[in-house]
Amino acid sequence: MPTTTNPPIRLRLHRHPLSGHAHRVELLLRMLDLPYAAQDVDLLAGAHKKPEFLALNPFGQVPVLQDGDLTLFDSNAILVYLAKRYDRSGRWLPDDAATAAHVQQWLSVAAGQLVNGPSTARLVTLFKAPLDHDRALAISGQLFGVIDRHLATRDFLAAPEHQPSHATIADLAIYSYTAHAPEGGVSLEAFSHLKRWLKRVEALPGFVPMQASPRLAA
């Protein structure tokens, strides 16, 4: 009987298990059913500031994706690459001008308000980062209010109102730090549309949760 050998794994993701930026990339890798090797970077030991890692990302941050000879840093750039390179359906990053722009709006929010709000709040509670927790809570409340109202009339972030739709990379970019916002002391209780959207993302084939951390005591 002929033996088959699997092709060598080309994709290598440098990540940390508590990084929402890395988790959003793992979500798309899983949802596209792409085999990859995961390489944990010991952020607490400063491995991301060593020359070997800085050669991959001069900003010294995870995630980094390697695909053969190609090396990419920045989670949103990696999502764009994976969607363009491997998603034959075109659903994760649609080509039409309006939808592509709507996806980009949310990628910008993921690099802006989501970092300054929920992600920063979580850095304070989990890692005692010397950052302004009250400011992060205020930004989070405003951000989740906007997202909740937006999702009142659509299933996914970059979708048209009241029409059947598929998730895009915008949903993955916003999901991880939103789902884990309570770990930073940010309550999601008031945001019912947002909570239903979290469940929709979690129901997508290939979904894997990010490792949970203890929640801030109320």
Contact set with ligand GSH (CB under 6 A): 19, 21, 43, 48, 60-63, 74-76, 111
Residue 85, token pair as written in the block: 């390179």
Question: Sign of dihedral through CA atoms 200, 121, 107, 67?
Answer: negative
Residue nearest to ligand GSH (CB): 61
Q: Nearer Cβ to ligand GSH, position 11 or 43?
A: 43
Cβ of residue 43: shortest distance to ligand GSH, in angstroms? 6
Q: Nearer Cβ to ligand GSH, position 50 or 196?
A: 50
Cβ of residue 63: shortest distance to ligand GSH, in angstroms? 6
Strands 64-67 vs 36-40: parallel, antiparallel or unpaired: unpaired
Cβ of residue 184: shortest distance to ligand GSH, in angstroms? 13
Alpha-carbon span 194 to 161, nearest angstrom? 15
- From residue 200, alpha-carbon distances to 11, 48, 121, 145, 193 in Å are 27, 34, 25, 18, 11
Q: Which residue has the tokens 């990302």?
A: 57
Alpha-carbon span 216 to 10, nearest angstrom? 39
Residue 138, classed as helix, strand or coil, is: helix
Q: Nearer Cβ to ligand GSH, position 21 or 102?
A: 21
Cβ of residue 78: shortest distance to ligand GSH, in angstroms? 7
Beta bridge partners of 12: 37, 66
Q: Nearer Cβ to ligand GSH, position 48 or 102?
A: 48
Residue 175, token pair as written in the block: 């999901």
Q: Nearer Cβ to ligand GSH, position 111 or 198?
A: 111
